[in-house]
Each structure stands twice: as C-alpha cells, then as structure tokens.
C-alpha cells in the first residue's frame, strides 16, 4: 500500500487514516499471515517477506509506507531468530521499482525516465527477477540466508 501523504499538506484525520491502513496492509497483515503459517510449518519451513528499498532510503511523501516496510524488515529479522530453533528460516526481499500494474503510472514519462535513471542499468526490475530471488529464499538451500534482507534494486540505492 503506497499512499502519498506529504506531512505539510495532509490533515490530521487523513494522516491517521493513511497510517492505520498502511500499517494494517504492509505490517500487521504479513505478521498475521506468518502467525497462522507457522502453525502449519515444521523444519525446512520458509517465510519470505516483500519489503522495499523505501524502508532504507525513506519515503518523504509516503512516510507510512517507508515506516511499514522498515517494520516488516525488523519483523522478519526478529522471527528469523525466534523460528530458527524450529528449523524455519525467514528472509526478506527489498525491491526498488518493478514493472507491475501497480507501478505503471509511476513509470510513464517523464517520471518513469527519472526512475529508470536511478539505476546504472537504466531500467527497473522485471517481476521475474524478483520472483527468482523469492524462489531461492524459499528453497532448502537458503536456510543460511535466514535473517537476511536482499536488496533488489539494480544499484539504484546502496546502503552501508
């Protein structure tokens, strides 16, 4: 959920509503799904969350989105430690822009050209590229990646 809400141009009521809805979808929803899934998982179980580069670089016009994704990262790392004794691994992917229906309006010129220029590859991710990373993290070979947050943004944002 990505709703623009610049703090200086948003009423308090709108601010509260966007925060409630965004946290419910991006953080509480995955937490609830995980709670339910863990009851059916055993050793070898895998949980892969989908975060965003916005969790690291900030989202000045959508602070609830950035904060919700940062919270999802922390949830994943907390659960990686909590669930490891059960043989369940938890990892997170943090994509930048991806060619999806949701991003379509942002990827139209001229803004789309600016977004593509953020990566030295001059493009945004294809859905298949993100899916390949999720598939790996869900595989038996990825147990040691538990707790990891994998940046998938074509070097458009580098964190240290």
The structural domains of the chain, ordered by start, are: 7-152 (3.40.50.720)
d(CA 152, CA 53): 8
Q: Rounded to an integer, what is the distance from CA 155 to the centroid of its chain?
A: 16
CB 126 within 8 A of CB 99: yes
| CA–CA separation, 64 and 41 (whole Å) | 31
* Contact call for residues 66 and 94 (beta carbons, < 8 A): no
Given the residues 12, 65, 136, 157, the one annotated as active site:
65
State the pTM of this model: 0.93
Please confirm, yes or no, whether 65 is among the known catalytic residues.
yes
> Would you say how long the chain is, in residues?
160
Per residue in 68-101, pLDDT (tens digit) is 999 999 999 999 999 999 999 999 999 999 999 9
């Amino acid at each position: 959920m990505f709703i623009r809400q610049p703090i200086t141009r948003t009423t308090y009521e709108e601010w509260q509503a966007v925060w409630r809805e965004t946290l419910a979808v991006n953080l509480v929803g995955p937490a609830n799904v995980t709670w339910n899934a863990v009851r059916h998982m055993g050793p070898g179980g895998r949980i892969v969350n989908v975060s965003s580069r916005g969790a690291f670089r900030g989202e000045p016009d959508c602070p609830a989105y950035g904060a919700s994704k940062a919270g999802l990262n922390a949830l994943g790392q907390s659960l990686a430690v909590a669930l490891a004794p059960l043989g369940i691994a938890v990892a997170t992917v943090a994509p930048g822009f991806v060619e999806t229906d949701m991003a379509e309006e942002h990827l139209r010129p001229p803004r789309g050209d600016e977004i593509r220029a953020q990566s030295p590859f001059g493009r945004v991710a294809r859905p298949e590229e993100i899916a390949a990373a999720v598939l790996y993290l869900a595989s038996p070979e990825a147990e040691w990646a538990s707790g990891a947050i994998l940046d998938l943004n074509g070097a458009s944002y580098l964190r240290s």
